[in-house]
């Protein structure tokens, strides 16, 4: 069945990979992100492949903009089947006693509050229709803190609790709730974390073949297409030479 899939943070990384993979799966896409021009380019290239795409340019931190965009969805796009809460970021790797309060606020506002805004907007319709799937992009960083990870790890621990809580709250419905927990994935992630220091970012993936966005998107598409009675609750996805948050065997 063609599904309507809303993906936040769809202009790069795991979000963009999800857009392409769900498109290949024959689904219709609502793509959100902050960069209107990037959204337009992505939409154009998908439409050339006959994919049905709607783009909404807003920052998930901007609650009013999120509400407006959602309320103004054209009738035929309102019944969202899959919500992929992907928008999120890490900023900084300083010890907790030296970190930037602004960076912390941005991570909390995006990774936790933005995810909650989207959940609160989209899930009531799913409950009413007794149909839907929420796929949250968490992280292994939510399972265990690492040096300098402090607040980022806390936001991903929050994603785990929020995902588990939602799964409990919709257990009486046919809605499924998934937490994807990737380890090292080579995207813009580290570049953003280090505020554009590309050399430092490249070192994160040195000597190991990291995952790419597509690897995570494959799991998202699998979870969304599993038989109705199957709920992929949580998946940890690691590069083969990463064993845990801190054990990484590099060449």
Hey, which residues are catalytic here?
152
Q: Does 201 bind ligand 8X3 (CB under 6 A)?
A: no
99 binds ligand 8X3 (CB under 6 A): no
* Member of 8, 55, 119, 139 binding ligand 8X3 (CB under 6 A): 139
Edge-to-edge strand list for the sheet holding 53-57:
53-57, 28-33, 4-7, 82-85, 133-137, 176-182, 234-237
Which CB, 51 or 201, lies closer to ligand 8X3? 201
* 140 part of the interface to ligand 8X3, by CB under 6 A: yes
Least distance from ligand 8X3 to the Cβ atom of residue 222, Å: 20
- List of residues 6+ apart from 225 with CB closer than 8 A: 25
Q: Per-residue x/- mask for ligand 8X3, residues 212 to 231, rule CB under 6 A?
A: --------------------
SS3 assignment, position 49: coil
* CB 148, CB 193: distance < 8 Å: no
Token duo for residue 90: 């890490």
Nearer to ligand 8X3, 132 or 142 (CB): 142
As given in the structure block, the two tokens for residue 72 are 């103004």
Comparing CB distances to ligand 8X3, the nearer of 144 and 171 is: 144
183 binds ligand 8X3 (CB under 6 A): yes
Q: Is 165 exposed, middle or buried (0-12, 13-18, 19+ CB in 10 A)?
A: exposed
* In the complex, residue closest to ligand 8X3 by CB: 139
Q: Which of 4, 42, 141, 224 binds ligand 8X3 (CB under 6 A)?
A: 141
Least Å from the CB of residue 245 to ligand 8X3:
6
The CB density around residue 203, as the number of other CB atoms within 10 Å, is 12
Q: Interface mask (CB under 6 A) for ligand 8X3, residues 58-97, using x and -?
A: ----------------------------------------
Q: What is the DSSP letter of 77?
A: G
Let me know: does 87 contact 107? Beta carbons within 8 Å. no
Q: Pick between residue 16 and residue 141 the one whose CB is nearest to ligand 8X3.
A: 141
Residues with Cβ < 8 Å from 193, sequence gap 6 or more?
89, 90, 91, 92, 93, 152, 201
Answer yes or no whether residue 132 interacts with ligand 8X3 by CB under 6 A.
Answer: no
User: Does 162 sit near ligand 8X3 (CB under 6 A)?
Assistant: no
| Number of residues in contact with ligand 8X3 under rule CB under 6 A | 7
The sign of the dihedral angle between the CA atoms of 109, 110, 115, 121 is positive
Q: Which listed residue (51, 126, 166, 245) binds ligand 8X3 by CB under 6 A?
A: 245
How far apart, in Å, are the Cα atoms of 77 and each of 6, 30, 67, 82, 225?
10, 8, 15, 12, 20
Q: Which residues in this chain contact ligand 8X3 in the complex, by CB under 6 A?
A: 139-141, 182-184, 245
């Amino acid at each position: 069945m063609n599904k309507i899939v809303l993906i936040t943070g769809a202009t790069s990384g795991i979000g963009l990979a999800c857009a392409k993979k769900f498109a290949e799966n024959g689904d219709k896409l609502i793509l959100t992100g902050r960069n209107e021009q990037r959204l337009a380019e992505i939409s154009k290239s998908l439409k050339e492949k006959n994919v049905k795409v709607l783009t909404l340019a807003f920052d998930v931190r901007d609650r009013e903009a999120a509400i407006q965009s959602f309320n103004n969805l054209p009738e035929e796009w309102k019944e969202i089947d899959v919500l992929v809460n992907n928008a999120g970021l890490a900023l900084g790797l300083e010890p907790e006693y030296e970190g930037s309060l602004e960076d912390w606020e941005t991570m909390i506002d995006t990774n936790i509050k933005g995810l909650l805004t989207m959940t609160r907007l989209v899930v009531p319709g799913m409950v009413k229709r007794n149909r839907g799937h929420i796929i949250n992009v968490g992280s292994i960083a939510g399972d265990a803190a690492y040096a300098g990870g402090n607040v980022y790890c806390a936001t991903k621990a929050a994603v785990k609790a929020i995902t588990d809580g939602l799964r409990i709250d919709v257990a009486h419905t046919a809605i499924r709730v998934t937490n994807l927990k990737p380890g090292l994935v080579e995207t813009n992630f580290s570049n953003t974390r280090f505020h554009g220091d590309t050399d430092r970012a490249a070192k994160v993936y040195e000597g190991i073949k990291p995952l790419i966005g597509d690897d995570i998107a494959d799991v998202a598409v699998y979870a969304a297409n599993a038989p109705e009675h199957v709920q992929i609750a949580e998946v940890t996805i690691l590069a083969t030479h990463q064993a845990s948050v801190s054990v990484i065997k590099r060449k």
